[in-house]
Every structure is written in C-alpha cells, then in structure tokens.
C-alpha cells in the first residue's frame, strides 16, 4: 500500500558549491545527451547554466537543464553514496548536495518502500527530477478552486535514468516509490531555491504552507529533532492518508 507523508522541518544551513561560483557565463551551446558528467561536474554545470539563465541576458531553457540532469553518470555509487541516507521512520529523506543559495539547489531524496510525498506546489520554482534507482511514481493535479477537489491530470511511472520537470505553471504533483519491495532514490534540482511551499492534504485547492528541511547536508546528518516544526505528520494527520 502506498503511504504518503510530509518531512519534518528544521533550520538547515545550505552548502555553497566550491569550485565554480555563480556567474553569468554560459556553458558551451552544445549540451548533448551523450555527455557523461561526474556529480561534481554536474554541480558546476548547473551553477554556471542556471546563473546564466537567471541573468538579464539569459532565457529559461528547461531542456538544457534536463539534459544536464540526464548526463550525470551515476554508475559509480561510491561517488554519491554519502548522500543516499535513509531513515526507516520517515517516508523519505531530503539530502542536500549543493546550492548557490540564489539560482539552484541540488538534493538527493531517498524513499522507503511504498512511500510517497504529499501533494505539493513548488513556490514558483522550476523542478527537475532524475530517477537514480528504482521506479518513481509521479501523479499530477490541476486546481479547480480553493474548495473544489483537485483534478488528477496524469499518473506516470518513471524508470531509472528518466528525468521529469514540473513548475507551478504546469500544476501540482506528488512523487513516490512505485515499489513495495525496493527503495527509490531520486535527484532533484530546484531553480530558484525555496524553503517553503504549500501542501494539499485534503486533496482540494486549499493549500497549507509548510517549511522544508534537510535530513543531511553534504553527507552529514542534520541536527534536527523529528518533532520539530509545524510540518510533522502529527500536525497534518491527513498527510499519511491514502
């Protein structure tokens, strides 16, 4: 049975990419699907590309970022294992990899078997998701009014290697582990970064503001009690309802 939840909140200090600072210099025009990037190279590429896209001379290019996300070579698990932190007591964990605090945040989400997020928006941010391991279930919704039920637009299963994108202009969604037998790992890029969003626990257009949190930062577990914040499942019991 699929179970959904909200991650508890805390005040997490983001990590700044070290090797490439935010600048308006763009990557080479040819970003091709056959590129192979290490995680460090992906962070540097996102830092440069998304700084350019947000600059006065830049234009938002969803597919260029999606291609970068696809180009990450995840075959060497030892290169990213420190970010793949699970907690059996949570539906999923949010593990911060890098952020420039202005244009993007990159994080790894680790999902326990059969768990999903609650339906949520993205605070006017662009969201790209790369499936690293397992099969990811994405369910999209449209709002028909504050009191009206959300309208399911699509239900998709994304295999390992797939990249999906969503923004508030497209709609709301929830993600989750399509399997009750295996874990799921996903890589998320958000541009610009955000620390709050709205969730929709009663499946209507009425959103509830929450504060987001990180389970770990650069592979180190954050000092955040499970009961902290107003977004715990105790506060929102409907968050774990099917």
On whether 120 is known to bind a ligand per the annotation, the reply is yes
Query: Does 173 count as an annotated binding residue?
Result: yes
Residue 5 tokens, joined: 């939840």
Backbone angles phi, psi at 74, to 5 degrees: -95, 10
Is 122 annotated as ligand-binding?
yes
- CA-CA distance, 208 to 231, in Å (whole number)? 10
The answer to whether the CB of 50 falls within 8 A of the CB of 23 is no
**Of the candidates 100, 118, 117, 115, the residue with the CA atom closest to the CA atom of residue 192:** 100
Count of beta carbons in the 10 Å neighbourhood of residue 41: 17
Q: How far apart are CA 185 and CA 176, in angstroms?
A: 10
Q: Which residues are annotated as a binding site?
A: 120, 122, 173
Q: Which residues are annotated as a binding site for Fe cation?
A: 120, 122, 173
């Amino acid at each position: 049975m699929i179970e959904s939840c909200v991650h508890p909140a805390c005040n997490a200090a983001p990590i700044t990419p070290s090797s490439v600072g935010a600048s308006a210099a763009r990557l080479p025009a040819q970003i091709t699907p056959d590129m192979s990037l290490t995680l460090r190279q992906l962070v540097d590429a996102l830092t440069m590309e998304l700084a350019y896209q947000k600059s006065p001379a830049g234009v938002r290019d969803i597919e260029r970022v999606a291609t970068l996300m696809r180009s990450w070579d995840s075959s060497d698990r030892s290169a990213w294992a420190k970010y793949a932190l699970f907690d059996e007591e949570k539906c999923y964990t949010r593990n911060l990899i890098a952020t420039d605090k202005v244009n993007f945040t990159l994080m790894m989400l680790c999902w326990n078997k059969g768990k999903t997020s609650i339906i949520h928006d993205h605070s006017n941010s662009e969201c790209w998701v790369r499936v690293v391991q397992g099969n990811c279930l994405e369910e999209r919704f449209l709002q028909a009014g504050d009191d009206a039920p959300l309208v399911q637009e699509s239900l998709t299963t994304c295999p390992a290697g797939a990249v999906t994108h969503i923004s508030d202009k497209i709609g709301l969604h929830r993600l989750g582990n399509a399997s009750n037998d295996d874990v799921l790992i996903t890589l998320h890029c958000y541009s610009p970064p955000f620390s709050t969003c709205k969730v929709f626990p009663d499946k209507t257009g009425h959103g509830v503001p929450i504060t987001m949190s990180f389970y770990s930062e650069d592979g180190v577990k954050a000092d955040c009690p499970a009961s902290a914040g107003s977004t715990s499942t105790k506060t929102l019991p409907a968050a774990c309802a099917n």
